[in-house]
Chains A and B, each alone.
Chain A
Amino acid sequence: MKNKIAYMGLFLSFALILSYVESLVPFYFGVPGVKLGLANLAVLLALYRYGWKEALALNLARVFLSGFLFGNLFMVMYSLAGAAGSFMVMCLLKRAKGFSIIGVSMAGGVCHNIGQILVAYFVTRTAGVAFYLPVLLAAGLVTGLLIGLLAREAAKYMGKEFVKNL
């Protein structure tokens, strides 16, 4: 594929801009761990354009870069855990064929939040964090649905050539 490195650079800057937007607007829903996950839009599109290896590289790069640009080492570790679980499930569901980009995105949102709850549990050793599980499940579902719809619309405008695996 031509210009792949250039496009990967574009994807990465797209992901970073989305992270920046998310860090500017305080999407705070009153429950710890609920985030919009805008940057996942770039990861999803890269996953469908190239495949899991490229999307994984993009995902790692954006977690480290956005973590250090707009956060700190602690946030990097925290979001790595969420991103790892979410990414694996998204790759599996995409491969499973029966799901559209919307289903893949919803599963990613939900798994991201489950991953964060697990981190909270292992760090604090408090089972009480499970109290927030229902809210985080619902929130991950809704944000994942939104990001999935956005990704589908974006892919529509980018065209068949650009997002060929859709």
Chain B
Amino acid sequence: MREKIKRNDVYLFLVIAFAAFFLFFWRSCAASGRGTAAVVSRNGETIGSYPLHTDGRIVLTGDGGGRNVLVIRDGEAYMEEADCPDKLCVKQGPVGKNGESIICLPHKLAVQIIGGETGEADVLAR
């Protein structure tokens, strides 16, 4: 009945919160800044790569014949339409930061933003 929050609950909260913060900072250190290209893969195989500085409208064919329309505009990519049932990829809106991705699970499609400032710096260093 009058059950209080136990000590282990607090530990659990702290551990997970710490893990989330740690991963978040690690992620922001590892990859940051604007992306340079959108890489599209289906079933894990890359089927196309599109530079973010060129506006365009790409019709993608997903697994099972699904149709997705990817639009690239002003350095960002977003899913304009999809014929999957949940349309989570469309709702997600634009992505443009290095590491971000749009996933369309029903069609097994993934759009991943790559590049960014760290990538270019590496090339220059070499």
Is A124 a contact partner of B105 (Cβ separation < 8 A)?
A: yes
- A residues at B contact (CB < 8 Å): 28, 30, 32, 71-72, 74-75, 78, 96, 98-103, 106-107, 110, 119-120, 123-126, 128-129, 131, 133-135, 137-138, 140-141, 145, 152, 155-156, 159-160, 166
Closest to A78 in B: B105
Q: Cβ of B109: which chain A residues have Cβ within 8 Å of it?
A: 124
In the bound complex, what is the Cα–Cα distance between A158 and B9 (angstroms)? 23
Of the stretches B50-58, B70-78, B88-96, B116-124, the one at the interface is B88-96
> What per-residue 1/0 map shows which CB atoms of B40-78 lie under 8 Å from chain A?
010111000000000000000000000000000000000
Q: Are A103 and B9 in contact, CB atoms less than 8 angstroms apart? A: yes
Tell me whether B6 and A100 are in contact (CB under 8 A): yes
Q: Which of B23, B92, B93, B108 contacts A134 (CB 8 A)?
A: B23
Tell me whether chain A's interface is mostly helix, strand or loop, or mixed: helix
Find out whether the CB atom of A134 lies under 8 angstroms from the CB atom of B24. Answer: yes
Q: Which residues of the other chain, A, contact B108 by a CB distance below 8 angstroms? A: 123-124
Q: Are B93 and A30 in contact (CB under 8 A)?
A: yes
The answer on a CB contact under 8 Å between A120 and B4 is no
Asked whether, in the complex, the Cβ of B19 is within 8 Å of the Cβ of A137, the reply is yes
- Asked if B5 contacts A128 (CB within 8 A), the reply is no
Question: What distance in Å separates the Cβ of A80 from its nearest Cβ neighbour in chain B?
Answer: 13
CA distance A91 to B86 in the complex (A): 30
Q: Is the CB of B20 within 8 A of A125?
A: no
